[in-house]
Structure 1
Amino acid sequence: MARARHMFAGGNTCLGFFSYYHHILPQEEAEKIYVIKGGPGVGKSTFMKKVAHAMMDRGFDVEFMHCSSDSDSLDGVVVRDLKTFLVDGTAPHIIDPKYPGAVDEILNFGAFWNEEEIKKHRKEILSISREISRLFARAYHYLHAAFEVYQDSASLFNKALDKIKLSRLIADLEEELFAGKDGEEGEGRERSLFASAITPSGYVNYLNTLLDVSTVYVIKGDMGAGEELLLERLRDTALSKGFDVEGFYCALNPHKLEHLIIPGLDAAVTTSNTYHHAEVPSARIIDMMELMDRKLLEQYRGELEENRQAFDGLMATALASIRRAKENHDALEQFYIPYMDFKAMDASCQQIIGRLAELRPTEEIASSLRSSQ
């Protein structure tokens, strides 16, 4: 049965909109990349969903790249067995062809709209677009402020963290995961993405679709309680032993590793806290609070609680701004939807599905597909 994995390639972070789009599928490795250009409400997400489900019906695993500004919409679809993906190439994740004709192809959805009718709403479109930009800028200011509060809490937890106990824990995990096992010759490679995002619907994560491996370690803790140190060490060890990894980064701080999947070991290490968690049966639980100096934490209890309240308040304001931005985006779509030729677009979609159906996976993958049917 075809497998669906869901994730984000970009997100609303303390650094503004942050993208790992270059990690979706390296352009040098891709057989085909479709870059979709068009405006709001022109059907890019619906188009990609149709392609994705058509490929799953044919037995191919598909990765759904969701939009952090509307998690029900898609920014991309990846069929890794065919080394192919479709991606929304419009702002803020502007993607242009790197190897036009040879690998990349632009799908211009502007060909399906009535430009003269859309132009009649120029004033409203410009006004709403400016308001959307303002609201996202406001949200990013608050996300940055929340991150500063997070950093203060992390510094307090770091003071209380027993580094010797942490080193022993890491050594034990390395022994469990890597003893007698080696990956490919040479250094492994990391693919960086997001499992969660800060969205108009709140904190959204798709961990349950990603942790489909035989061995899962769940790290429980608090804001900045040392889990990043553990994950980075395990990632570096995996890479040095020749294992490719998938690193899923923090929705707030896109440079902080939060979840690690090592496909070659059929194993994953994930963090679980107030803001994101996954239900994983038979997972091994690692409680970072057991590595803390409880007396020292008690001294900081008041400050940590103040930080928690401040953090949640700042995040609430950021989320409210992102929700308002989506409401405005929904209004913007109404100046495009009535003037789209969706019938012609659907014909184009069927054409793309037909072209993908003609692509051939490797013999190993083809054999796997035949056996699953």
Structure 2
Amino acid sequence: MNGTITHQFGRAFTGQGEKNIYTDLINEARKVYFIKSPPTFKLSELFRQVGYHYVKRGYDIEWFYDPLHEDTIEATFVRGNRILFIQAAHPISFEPKYYGSTHHVISFYEAYDESKLREHGGFLREKTLHSEQWLAKALETLTNAKKLHDDWEVPYVKGMDWEGFDAQAKTLFDETFTTLKFNKTPNRSHRLMGTLTPQGAKDHFASLTKGVKRRIFIKGYPGGGKSTLMKGFAEKAESVGLDTQWGWCGLDCNSIDYVWLPELQTILFDSTAPHEYEPERSGDEIYDVRKFRDLNEEDQKLVDGIVTRYKEEILHATEYLQVYCTDDETIRETLDACVNNYKWAEIEDDLFRKIDNSSIYK
């Protein structure tokens, strides 16, 4: 029987800069293969083939995608035996800590033709400097958007019926956990719900929840306590010994968009824009906290003005990411043209031999 494939983002462009969960993933893994090379599209196909290699042997895997380039994979994580294959070069850079034991390096640098690199060196430098300027503009604009989102929350926070909110939360906690108690130390993992891309806001909610029996869709307003509720839900789950997965927000690094409890097959999910979904199958339910706050006319007018400016900033950030993406694509394609494909294939074959000859399946 084949394993399953779950699609995820490993990085996000947020109001606090670029965020990734790869450090958490490295810590979660039992064994890590750090795959090093210049910026390239070629590693994506390698990660895809590595994933299929394990899926055909019955392992569940996760693919982590580049937020700039659709269908470009940056890492493959094998869940069952916690093996991670990760691109450890631009635009993410990681160094192994445990040489000779659980961390291994596979380098593709020697597969590049030095004469071709020198031929394109000046162009690549100029294009890289240009791309970095557009990325900086995108991140600066997202910082402005985050500040506006904070302002958006204020009118809702000040008028919330927090007693009613807490009472409803207690009911949810009681019916979910009842008398559960597991005699084990819970594991906490970290993922990203989604991110802003050159095509707009994207997420992998459908892939993440395809096998989840109970999906709880939270409906609320900014500042309405959704993230606080989910953190409390996760902490309660951990207090009774349940494993948790925290899905972090793609705009605010301190906020979460979902909590998944794999042992209960339950996910609590922030189902508001830009990732707004509705129940569509058995086991889906709505958890509505909008009823705990109604805006008066003055506050509504204030919110409407903030929302308009917020959407404008997100639109500008998306446009800047589009320019950055175009530059980055050119850089990768130029470098890929400098590859000695025979040498590249030899290094790939050596990686698969290492996989097959190790105790990786045990």
Compute the TM-score of the two structures, normalised by the length of structure 2.
0.93
For residues 143-182 of structure 1, the aligned pairs below 5 Å read 143-182=142-181
Equivalent-residue separation in structure 2 for 1:181 and 1:298 (angstroms): 45
Cα distance, 1:83 vs structure 2: 2.1
Equivalent-residue separation in structure 2 for 1:162 and 1:23 (angstroms): 36
Equivalence for 2:197: 199
Contact 1:161 1:226 in 2 (8 A): no
Q: Among all aligned residue pairs of Structure 1 and Structure 2, give the percentage whose two residues are the same amino acid.
A: 18
Equivalence for 1:367: none
Equivalence for 1:285: 286
CA-to-aligned-CA distance 1:22-63 (integer Å, 9 cap, x gap): 221416x51x31111111225111211111122212221111
Equivalent-residue separation in structure 2 for 1:55 and 1:169 (angstroms): 43
Equivalent-residue separation in structure 2 for 1:117 and 1:164 (angstroms): 67
Equivalence for 1:355: 354
Contact 1:118 1:335 in 2 (8 A): no
Contact 1:217 1:268 in 2 (8 A): yes
Equivalent-residue separation in structure 1 for 2:78 and 2:86 (angstroms): 12
Query: Which amino acid in structure 2 is aligned with residue 36 of structure 1?
Result: I
For residues 6-25 of structure 1, the aligned pairs below 5 Å read 6-25=7-26
Deviates further, 237-246 or 136-145:
237-246
Q: Is 1:257 paired with 2:259?
A: no
CA-to-aligned-CA distance 1:115-150 (integer Å, 9 cap, x gap): 111111111111111111111111111100000110
Equivalent-residue separation in structure 2 for 1:142 and 1:202 (angstroms): 14
Deviates further, 346-355 or 46-55:
346-355
Q: Is 1:189 paired with 2:187?
A: yes
Contact 2:214 2:265 in 1 (8 A): yes
Report the 3-state secondary structure (helix = DSSP H, G, I; strand = E; otherwise coil) of the residue aligned with 1:26: helix
Aligned residues: 357
Contact 1:157 1:226 in 2 (8 A): no
Structure 1 pair 139–107 and aligned structure 2 pair: CA distance change class (3 A):
same
Equivalent-residue separation in structure 2 for 1:76 and 1:328 (angstroms): 22
Report the 3-state secondary structure (helix = DSSP H, G, I; strand = E; otherwise coil) of the residue aligned with 1:243: coil
Structure 1 pair 184–63 and aligned structure 2 pair: CA distance change class (3 A):
farther
For residues 227-238 of structure 1, the aligned pairs below 5 Å read 227-238=226-237
CA-to-aligned-CA distance 1:307-348 (integer Å, 9 cap, x gap): 111111000111111111010011112321222123432343
CA-to-aligned-CA distance 1:188-220 (integer Å, 9 cap, x gap): 332122021111121110011112211111001
Equivalent-residue separation in structure 2 for 1:341 and 1:297 (angstroms): 66
Structure 1 pair 184–142 and aligned structure 2 pair: CA distance change class (3 A):
farther
Contact 1:51 1:349 in 2 (8 A): no
Equivalent-residue separation in structure 2 for 1:347 and 1:275 (angstroms): 44
CA RMSD of aligned residues (A): 1.8
For residues 321-340 of structure 1, the aligned pairs below 5 Å read 321-340=320-339
Report the 3-state secondary structure (helix = DSSP H, G, I; strand = E; otherwise coil) of the residue aligned with 2:27: coil
Equivalent-residue separation in structure 2 for 1:9 and 1:245 (angstroms): 18
Query: Which amino acid in structure 2 is aligned with residue 2 of structure 1?
Result: G
Report the 3-state secondary structure (helix = DSSP H, G, I; strand = E; otherwise coil) of the residue aligned with 2:216: strand
Equivalent-residue separation in structure 1 for 2:204 and 2:342 (angstroms): 32
Contact 1:132 1:328 in 2 (8 A): yes
Structure 1 pair 225–19 and aligned structure 2 pair: CA distance change class (3 A):
same
Contact 1:42 1:336 in 2 (8 A): no
Contact 2:8 2:63 in 1 (8 A): yes
Cα distance, 1:361 vs structure 2: 4.2
- Could you list the runs of 5+ residues in structure 1 that have no partner in the other structure? 363-373
Contact 1:160 1:297 in 2 (8 A): no
Cα distance, 1:279 vs structure 2: 5.5
Compute the TM-score of the two structures, normalised by the length of structure 1.
0.91
- Could you list the runs of 5+ residues in structure 2 that have no partner in the other structure? none
Equivalent-residue separation in structure 1 for 2:24 and 2:296 (angstroms): 39
Equivalent-residue separation in structure 1 for 2:196 and 2:151 (angstroms): 21
Report the 3-state secondary structure (helix = DSSP H, G, I; strand = E; otherwise coil) of the residue aligned with 1:222: coil
Contact 2:39 2:90 in 1 (8 A): no
Structure 1 pair 56–279 and aligned structure 2 pair: CA distance change class (3 A):
farther
